A and B are shown apart, each in its own frame.
Chain A
C-alpha cells in the first residue's frame, strides 16, 4: 500500500511540474500561476531528488526539497542573465523537466522491488 501511495505522489508531482511549465510557457490565470509555478520553483526538483534517492525522513526531505530547489532556480536564472539569454519561461521549463525526470527515476526505483515481488510470488 505504501508503495502505491508513494507512486501517486510522484505522479502528482509530474502533473504539477507539467502544469507549471505549461502555465509559464503558454500563460494562464494568475490564480493558478502563483501557486503552481511558485511551488515548483520553491520545492519541485529538490523534492523529486529526495524521492528519487529514497529519503523517508520528512524533515530532511523538506530541507533538501527547499534548499535544493531554490539553489537550482537561482543557478539557472543567474546563468541566463550572465549569458544574456534571459528567458524565464525556459528556466521554468528546465526546472519542470528536471522534476519530471527525477520523478521518473523515483517511479522506476519503486517499481523494481514490486516487480521482483511478483516474480517471487509466481
Chain B
C-alpha cells in the first residue's frame, strides 16, 4: 500500500469510526465482557469444580459399578456444565476456535485425568507389565522373542526404554499413570487435521473432536503398544486425507462412491513435488513403525487403507499392499517364534465371525450384576455412537456430499471381527480404531449441514448428547475400577517381594490382577492361581493346586501375594468367589505351608515353607 493510499484511507469517515471504536474498546469491555472471556472463565470454573470434587472423593466405598459409585454430585455438575458451555460456544455461524479448544482440552482433562488424580497409580495390571518390559530393555537386554509376545513387537517398549535410558524420564510409574492424558494431548492435532480434511464447517470439525473424547470409553489409552499404534495410525490417516485424498476414479466402484452432483467437502491440500515425496515418506515411516509396535493395528490399517483406495479416496494406491507385505514379512521373519507357538491363535479364528462376535459380546456379559450393567452400558454406548454415525453419513448423502472417506475409515475395522476374536477384545478395538471418523459422522448428524447459526433445539441436542456420552464414558471406562485399579499398598507389597525374593524364585498371585512385574520382568517365574478375566469361570483352587503352582520340586523359594484388588477381580468377573481364594490361603496357612512375611492394609505377602509344620 502506498503512502497516498494510507493518507486517503485515514481521512475517510469509516477510518475515523474505527479509530473512535478502538479508543472506546476498553470501556465497552468493562461494561459487557466479550463472549470469549465469559466462556473461558466458565471453563476455568468448571475445571476447578471438577478438581475440588475429586479432593473429597473416597475410593474406599467403591462397588462393582466402579468409579461413579463414589464420585460426588459436583463431578457430574462439572461434566454437564462443560457439555452445555461447549454447545453454547458451538452455536454461532463462526464460533470462536480458542473457546472451543479450551472446552475440548477441559473435556479430555476431566475424562483422562480423573483416575490418575484419584488413584495416583497406573490403571490395569498390563500397565505394570509394560513398565517391567520397558525397564528390562532399558537395562540393555537383547530382544528375546521367546520371553513372550511383547518381545516380538517391541517398538513401543524400545521407544520408552530410550526415553528413560536417555534421561528424559526417571519415573516410569508416573509416566504410565499420566499416559492417558499424554495420548489425549497427542491425538488432538491429528483429529483437527482429519476434521479439516473432511469438512469446511468449523462447528462439525470441533464437535467431531469433542465426540471422540466424550465417547472414548474403551480405556485403551493406557501405557500400552495399542495406544501408541492407534496414535500412529490416526496420524497416517490424517496425513493421507489431508494431502493424498484424491478423488481417484476407480472403475465400476466410482458409480457408487461418486454419484453425479456429489461434491467432496473439506480442505484438501494436495502435496506435490518435494513436499509430496517427503510427506509420503513420512506416512510410510509411521506405518512401518506400527508394524513392529503392535500385532493388531497394522491389520486394521491394511483393511482401512484398502477400503480408502477402493472408494477412490487415497492417491497412494500401493500403500495397503506395502503395508500388507511389511506386516506379513515381520510376522514371518521377526515374530516367527510367536507364530510357531501360536498358529492356532493367529489363524484359527479366520472367518469365524459368529464365534468372534460371541466372544466379544455375549461372552463378556458375566460376573456380578453390577458388572453386567457396566458391560451392557458399553454395548449400548457403542451402538448409539455407531447409529449416530450412520445418520451422519445419511445426512451427507442427502446434502449431496460424499460420505465415502469417513464411512469406510469408520467402519472398515469391523473386518477385524472376521480375523479373530483377539481374546474377546476385538470389538473394543473395532470401536476405537474407527472412532475418529465415527465421531466425525456423528457430529454431522448432530450439527447438520448448514451455513447459519445452530437453532436453539439443535444446540440443546448437542449439549445433551455430549453430556450423555461424557457421563456414559466416565461410567463405562471406569466401570471395572475395583478390578483395574491398585493402591499404594499393592505396589508396596510387590516391591517388598522383589526386595526379599532371590532371582529365580517362583512368584505367585492369587489372581493375575496384580501390580507386579514392573521390575525384574524376566528374572522370576511368575504364576497365578486363578485367571480372573471377563467371561472366564474356574473351579475354586485347592491347597494341592497351590503347591503345584509353587513347583516345589524345583527346589526354589516361592512367594504368594494376595491383595484386595485380586479378590475384587475374582468377584467382579465371576471367575471364582473371592472367599474361595481366601479360604485356600487360610487353609494353607493353618497347615503351616504359608508364612506371612509382609502385610499392609491392602496386601499380604506369604512365603511357602519347605515342609509343613
Binding site for B on A (CB under 8 A): 23-24, 27-28, 30, 33-34, 37-38, 41, 46, 49, 52-55, 57, 59-60, 62-64, 66-68, 70-78, 80-82, 84, 86, 88-89, 91-92
How far apart sit A68 and B231, CA to CA, in the bound complex (Å)?
12
Please give me the 9 A-B residue pairs with the lowest Cβ-Cβ distance, nearest first. Answer: A88-B165, A77-B158, A67-B235, A77-B162, A37-B168, A71-B289, A38-B168, A88-B166, A86-B140
Given A23, A37, A82, which contacts B143 in the complex, CB threshold below 8 Å? A82
* Known contacts A59-B193, A64-B279, A66-B186, A38 near B163 by CB under 8 Å: yes
Check A67–B232 contact: CB distance below 8 A.
Answer: yes
Check A49–B293 contact: CB distance below 8 A.
Answer: no
Residues of chain A within 8 A (CB-CB) of B236 are 67
Check A41–B286 contact: CB distance below 8 A.
Answer: no
How far apart sit A68 and B285, CA to CA, in the bound complex (Å)?
7
Residues of chain A within 8 A (CB-CB) of B142 are 81-82, 84
Q: Mark B186-198 against chain A: 1 for CB-CB distance below 8 A, else 0.
A: 1001101100100
Q: Which residue of A lies closest to B196 (CB)?
A: A59
Residues of chain A within 8 A (CB-CB) of B170 are 30
Check A34–B193 contact: CB distance below 8 A.
Answer: no
Check A41–B285 contact: CB distance below 8 A.
Answer: no
Given B159, B190, B274, which contacts A53 in the complex, CB threshold below 8 Å? B274
Q: Mark B322-353 against chain A: 1 for CB-CB distance below 8 A, else 0.
A: 00000000000000000000000000000000
Binding site for A on B (CB under 8 A): 137-138, 140, 142-143, 154-156, 158-159, 161-163, 165-170, 186, 189-190, 192-193, 196, 231-232, 235-236, 238-239, 242-243, 269, 274-275, 278-279, 282, 285-286, 288-289, 292-293
Given A30, A70, A82, which contacts B159 in the complex, CB threshold below 8 Å? A70
- Provide the main secondary structure of the chain A interface: helix
Q: Which residue of B lies closest to A40 (CB)?
A: B168
* Known contacts A30-B167, A81-B158, A88-B165, A60 near B285 by CB under 8 Å: no
17 residue pairs of the A-B complex, CB under 8 angstroms, read A34-B168, A37-B163, A38-B168, A57-B269, A59-B196, A60-B193, A60-B243, A63-B238, A64-B282, A68-B285, A70-B232, A71-B288, A73-B159, A81-B154, A84-B142, A91-B162, A92-B162
Q: Which residue of A lies closest to B279 (CB)?
A: A64
How far apart sit A37 and B296, CA to CA, in the bound complex (Å)?
30
Check B161–A81 contact: CB distance below 8 A.
Answer: yes
Check A38–B192 contact: CB distance below 8 A.
Answer: no
How far apart sit A24 and B163, CA to CA, in the bound complex (Å)?
10
Known: A70-B159, A89-B165. 20 other contacts (CB 8 A): A34-B168, A34-B169, A37-B163, A37-B166, A38-B163, A46-B282, A54-B275, A60-B242, A60-B243, A64-B239, A70-B289, A71-B232, A71-B282, A71-B288, A74-B158, A75-B289, A78-B154, A78-B292, A81-B161, A88-B167
Check A74–B282 contact: CB distance below 8 A.
Answer: no
Check B286–A53 contact: CB distance below 8 A.
Answer: no
* Known contacts A77-B158, A88-B161, A60 near B269 by CB under 8 Å: yes
Residues of chain B within 8 A (CB-CB) of A62 are 189
Most B-side CB within 10 Å, residue of A67, A72, A86: A67
* Known contacts A57-B269, A63-B193, A63-B239, A74 near B278 by CB under 8 Å: no
Residues of chain A within 8 A (CB-CB) of B156 are 74
* Known contacts A49-B278, A63-B239, A81-B161, A74 near B289 by CB under 8 Å: yes
Residues of chain B within 8 A (CB-CB) of A28 are 167
How far apart sit A78 and B157, CA to CA, in the bound complex (Å)?
9
How far apart sit A9 and B231, CA to CA, in the bound complex (Å)?
27
Given B154, B165, B275, B286, which contacts A71 in the complex, CB threshold below 8 Å? B286
How far apart sit A80 and B192, CA to CA, in the bound complex (Å)?
34
Check B166–A91 contact: CB distance below 8 A.
Answer: yes
How far apart sit A92 and B154, CA to CA, in the bound complex (Å)?
19
Q: Which residue of A lies closest to B139 (CB)?
A: A86
Given A33, A59, A75, A80, which contacts B168 in the complex, CB threshold below 8 Å? A33
B175 to chain A minimum Cβ distance, whole angstroms, is 10
Check A68–B162 contact: CB distance below 8 A.
Answer: no
How far apart sit A30 and B168, CA to CA, in the bound complex (Å)?
8
Check B235–A37 contact: CB distance below 8 A.
Answer: no
Given A27, A54, A59, which contacts B167 in the complex, CB threshold below 8 Å? A27
Q: Which residue of A lies closest to B186 (CB)?
A: A66
Residues of chain B within 8 A (CB-CB) of A88 are 138, 161-162, 165-167
Residues of chain B within 8 A (CB-CB) of A52 are 278
* Known contacts A37-B167, A49-B278, A62-B189, A67 near B269 by CB under 8 Å: no
How far apart sit A18 and B279, CA to CA, in the bound complex (Å)?
26
Given B155, B169, B189, B279, which contacts A59 in the complex, CB threshold below 8 Å? B189
Check A66–B193 contact: CB distance below 8 A.
Answer: no
Check B190–A63 contact: CB distance below 8 A.
Answer: yes
Residues of chain B within 8 A (CB-CB) of A78 are 154-155, 158, 292
How far apart sit A89 and B275, CA to CA, in the bound complex (Å)?
31
B230 to chain A minimum Cβ distance, whole angstroms, is 13
A68 to chain B minimum Cβ distance, whole angstroms, is 5
Residues of chain B within 8 A (CB-CB) of A33 are 166-168
Most A-side CB within 10 Å, residue of B154, B167, B238, B292: B167
How far apart sit A116 and B447, CA to CA, in the bound complex (Å)?
50
How far apart sit A75 and B156, CA to CA, in the bound complex (Å)?
10
Given A59, A67, A89, which contacts B166 in the complex, CB threshold below 8 Å? A89
How far apart sit A46 and B239, CA to CA, in the bound complex (Å)?
14
Q: Which residue of A lies closest to B243 (CB)?
A: A60
B232 to chain A minimum Cβ distance, whole angstroms, is 7
Check A77–B159 contact: CB distance below 8 A.
Answer: yes
Residues of chain B within 8 A (CB-CB) of A75 are 285, 288-289
* Known contacts A62-B189, A66-B186, A81 near B143 by CB under 8 Å: yes
Check B242–A73 contact: CB distance below 8 A.
Answer: no
Residues of chain B within 8 A (CB-CB) of A34 are 167-169
Residues of chain A within 8 A (CB-CB) of B269 are 57, 60
How far apart sit A64 and B271, CA to CA, in the bound complex (Å)?
13
Residues of chain A within 8 A (CB-CB) of B166 are 24, 33, 37, 41, 88-89, 91-92
Most B-side CB within 10 Å, residue of A23, A84, A88, A89: A88
